[in-house]
C-alpha cells in the first residue's frame, strides 16, 4: 500500500507539466476550502465571492487535474520510448532526506509555499472586497469623479454600487467584467465619452434592484409636497409652491390609480424611443384583460430615430435616483432654505446664480470667478455692507463654490442640465411630457392626456406665506 502511494506521488511530480498541474490544483483546492469557509460563516456578502469560490477556482482546479493527466501520459510515453530504444528515461534528481541541507531546503521551501498559499487566499478575499467596494467604483478612474461626487450626497449613498450595477450571479459578474475591460481600454486610449452617456442601457431591471427595498404595488395615496423657492429680489423673498401628488399605486378595488399606475403588475407599458429615451416615438399599453392600444406620434424630419425599445419600470421616471445633479436654481434655493447661504445679503440669490452659471474652464477658475463676482458686486453696490459683513460674504462665496464643484465638471463636459431628471418636468417639455403629449394618437383617434391634474393638484404656486394664508382664508 505504501509503495503504491509512493508510486502515485512520483507519477504526479515526475513530469514538469504534471508538477505544475499538481501545484495549480493544490493551490486552487486550498483557496476553495478557505473561501468556502469564509462564505459559510457569513464574513462577506459580496456577489463576487460565490462566483470565485464556486466557479472560477473549480475551473482552475479542473485545469490542474487535466495537466496532471497530460503530464503522466507524456512521462509514460517517454519512458516506453526510452525502454524500446534501450535508453534510460530522464528522471528528476534524487532528493536525499538524509542530507541536512536538503531537509533544510525542503522545510524552508515548504514553509514559504504554505505562507504564500495563505497570503494568496487572503489577498483574493481582500481583492474581491476591494473591487466590490464603492471606493473602487468611484475613485479608481478619474472619469468617475462626477458620478462619485453625486452618489456621495444622494438618497442612496448607503447602497453599494454593485447592488444596482452588478448584482449576483455568473451572467452579471461576466457582463460587469467585460464592461470593465472596455472601460479600461477607453481610459488607456483616451477615447472615453465626455460626459458619460446616459441612460445605462444594460442596467439591471428595477424588479431586481428598486423592488428589493421599495414596494411598487403598495398604495401610497395622495402626498402633499411643499417646494420652497426664493425670488431674485433684494430681500430674497421666500415663496412656496404646494402641490398634492397623486402618487397612487397598489390597487384600489383591483385597479391601480395615480402615477404608479404605470408600474401596475397587471399591465405593461412598452415604448420605443431614441437612445437617450428623451424622444418617444410609440407607446403600447397592454391592459389586464389582454387588450392593447398603441399610440404613435408623427415624426418630423430631423427628429432622432427610434433605436431603443423597453418595458416601462421605475427608472423611466426615477431616472436619477442616486447620481443626482441639481439645477442652479434648485441648488441655490436649497442652501437658502437651510440657512447655509445668508438670506439677509441683498440680491444674493440673483448674484449667486449669475456667478455659478458663468462659463469656467476648470474648478479652480470657477472658484476664482465666483469669489471675484460676489465680492466685486458687494464692494461696488453695497460698500458699507461689504466692509461690515466680510465674514458672511466669504461664507456665501464658499457655499456657492461648493455648489459649483459638486454639480459642474468642465473636464468631463458636465454642466448645468447635462443630465435630465424625468421625475416631473421642466416647463412643458421632458419628464412626464415625453409621453403625456397630445402628439400621440391611437388608431381610434384617442390621445394621451397632458392634463396636469392626472399627476397633481396645485394648491399654491410660488406664493409668500401671507399670500398662502389669504388663499386658505378664502
What average pLDDT does the chain have? 82
Q: Contact, 414 vs 363, CB < 8 A?
A: no
Does 342 reside within a domain?
A: yes
Q: Using CB atoms within 10 A of its CB, is residue 430 exposed (0-12), middle (13-18) or buried (19+)? A: middle
Does 113 reside within a domain?
A: yes
Is residue 76 domain-shared with residue 100, that is, in the same domain? yes
Is residue 333 domain-shared with residue 362, that is, in the same domain? yes
Is residue 379 domain-shared with residue 342, that is, in the same domain? yes
Does 201 reside within a domain?
A: no
Q: Which three three-digit cell numbers place residue 287?
A: 391592459
Q: Which of 195-199, 242-246, 277-281, 394-398 has the highest mean pLDDT?
A: 394-398
In a 3-state reduction of DSSP, which class is residue 355? Answer: helix
Q: Rounded to whole angstroms, how far apart are CA atoms 15 and 12? A: 7
Containing 138, the helix (H) or strand (E) segment is helix 134-139
CA neighbours closer than 13 Å in the CB half-sphere of residue 184:
8
The residue-averaged pLDDT of 17-44 equals: 75
Percent of the chain with pLDDT over 70: 81
Is residue 47 domain-shared with residue 103, that is, in the same domain? yes
Ramachandran class of 231: left when φ > 0, alpha when ψ lies in -120 to 50, beta otherwise = beta
Across 22-36, 145-159, 340-354, least confident range: 22-36
Number of domains in the chain: 4
Q: Rounded to whole angstroms, how far apart are CA atoms 36 and 209? A: 26
Q: Contact, 246 vs 222, CB < 8 A?
A: yes
Does 274 reside within a domain?
A: yes
Is residue 384 domain-shared with residue 431, that is, in the same domain? no
Is residue 345 domain-shared with residue 304, that is, in the same domain? no
Is residue 241 domain-shared with residue 351, that is, in the same domain? no
* Residue in the structure block whose three cell numbers are 451572467: 171
In a 3-state reduction of DSSP, which class is residue 148? Answer: helix
pLDDT band at 308 (very low <50, low <70, confident <90, very high): confident
Is residue 52 domain-shared with residue 172, that is, in the same domain? no
Q: Contact, 205 vs 428, CB < 8 A?
A: no
Helices 16-40 and 57-85 pack at an angle, to 10 degrees, of: 160
Q: Contact, 421 vs 320, CB < 8 A?
A: yes
Is residue 305 domain-shared with residue 445, that is, in the same domain? yes
Does 69 reside within a domain?
A: yes
Which pLDDT score, from 0 to 100, does residue 81 have? 75
Does 411 reside within a domain?
A: no
* Residue in the structure block whose three cell numbers are 450626497: 153
Is residue 228 domain-shared with residue 312, that is, in the same domain? yes
Range of the domain at 167: 151-192
Q: Contact, 258 vs 407, CB < 8 A?
A: no
Is residue 402 domain-shared with residue 432, that is, in the same domain? no
Which pLDDT score, from 0 to 100, does residue 121 have? 67
Q: Contact, 340 vs 354, CB < 8 A?
A: no
pLDDT band at 258 (very low <50, low <70, confident <90, very high): confident
Does 213 have pLDDT greater than 70? yes
Question: Hey, how many other C-beta atoms are within 10 angstroms of the C-beta on 270?
Answer: 15
Does 197 reside within a domain?
A: no
Is residue 262 domain-shared with residue 296, that is, in the same domain? yes
Amino acid at each position: 500500500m505504501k509503495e503504491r502511494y509512493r508510486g502515485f506521488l512520483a507519477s504526479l511530480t515526475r513530469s514538469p507539466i504534471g508538477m505544475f498541474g499538481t501545484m495549480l490544483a493544490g493551490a486552487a483546492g486550498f483557496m476553495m476550502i478557505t473561501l468556502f469557509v469564509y462564505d459559510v460563516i457569513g464574513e462577506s456578502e459580496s456577489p463576487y465571492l460565490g462566483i470565485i469560490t464556486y466557479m472560477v477556482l473549480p475551473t482552475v482546479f479542473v485545469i490542474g487535474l487535466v495537466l496532471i493527466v497530460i503530464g503522466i501520459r507524456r512521462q509514460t510515453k517517454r519512458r516506453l520510448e526510452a525502454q524500446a530504444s534501450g535508453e534510460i528515461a530522464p528522471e528528476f534528481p534524487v532528493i536525499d532526506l538524509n542530507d541536512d541541507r536538503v531537509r533544510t531546503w525542503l522545510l524552508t521551501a515548504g514553509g514559504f509555499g504554505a505562507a504564500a498559499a495563505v497570503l494568496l487566499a487572503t489577498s483574493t478575499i481582500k481583492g474581491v472586497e476591494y473591487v466590490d467596494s464603492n471606493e473602487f467604483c468611484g475613485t479608481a478612474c478619474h472619469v468617475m469623479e462626477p458620478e462619485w461626487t453625486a452618489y456621495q450626497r444622494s438618497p442612496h449613498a448607503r447602497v453599494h454600487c454593485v447592488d444596482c450595477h452588478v448584482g449576483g450571479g455568473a451572467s452579471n459578474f461576466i457582463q460587469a467584467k467585460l464592461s470593465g475591460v472596455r472601460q479600461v481600454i477607453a481610459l488607456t486610449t483616451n477615447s472615453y465619452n465626455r460626459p458619460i452617456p446616459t441612460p445605462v442601457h444594460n442596467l439591471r431591471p428595477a424588479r431586481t434592484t428598486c423592488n428589493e427595498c421599495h414596494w411598487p404595488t403598495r398604495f401610497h395615496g395622495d402626498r402633499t409636497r411643499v417646494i420652497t423657492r426664493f425670488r431674485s429680489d433684494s430681500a430674497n423673498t421666500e415663496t412656496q409652491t404646494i402641490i398634492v401628488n397623486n402618487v397612487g399605486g397598489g390597487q384600489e378595488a383591483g385597479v391601480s390609480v395615480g402615477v404608479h399606475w404605470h408600474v401596475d403588475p397587471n399591465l405593461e407599458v412598452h415604448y420605443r424611443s431614441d437612445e437617450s429615451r428623451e424622444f418617444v416615438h410609440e407607446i403600447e399599453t397592454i391592459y389586464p384583460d389582454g387588450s392593447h392600444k398603441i399610440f404613435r406620434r408623427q415624426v418630423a424630419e430631423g427628429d432622432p430615430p427610434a433605436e431603443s425599445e423597453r418595458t416601462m419600470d421605475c427608472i423611466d421616471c426615477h431616472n436619477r435616483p442616486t447620481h443626482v445633479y441639481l439645477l442652479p436654481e434648485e441648488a441655490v434655493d436649497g442652501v437658502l432654505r437651510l440657512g447655509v447661504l445668508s438670506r439677509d445679503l441683498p440680491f444674493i440669490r440673483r448674484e449667486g446664480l449669475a456667478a455659478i452659471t458663468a462659463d469656467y474652464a476648470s474648478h479652480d477658475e470657477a472658484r476664482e470667478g465666483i469669489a471675484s463676482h460676489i465680492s466685486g458686486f458687494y464692494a461696488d453696490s453695497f460698500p458699507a455692507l461689504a466692509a461690515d459683513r466680510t465674514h458672511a460674504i466669504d461664507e456665501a462665496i464658499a457655499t456657492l463654490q461648493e455648489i459649483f464643484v459638486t454639480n459642474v465638471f468642465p473636464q468631463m463636459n458636465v454642466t448645468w442640465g447635462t443630465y435630465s431628471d424625468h421625475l416631473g418636468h421642466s416647463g412643458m417639455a421632458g419628464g412626464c411630457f415625453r409621453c403625456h403629449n397630445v402628439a400621440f394618437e391611437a388608431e381610434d383617434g384617442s390621445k394621451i392626456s397632458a392634463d396636469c391634474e392626472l399627476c397633481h393638484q396645485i394648491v399654491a404656486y410660488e406664493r409668500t406665506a401671507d399670500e398662502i394664508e389669504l388663499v386658505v382664508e378664502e
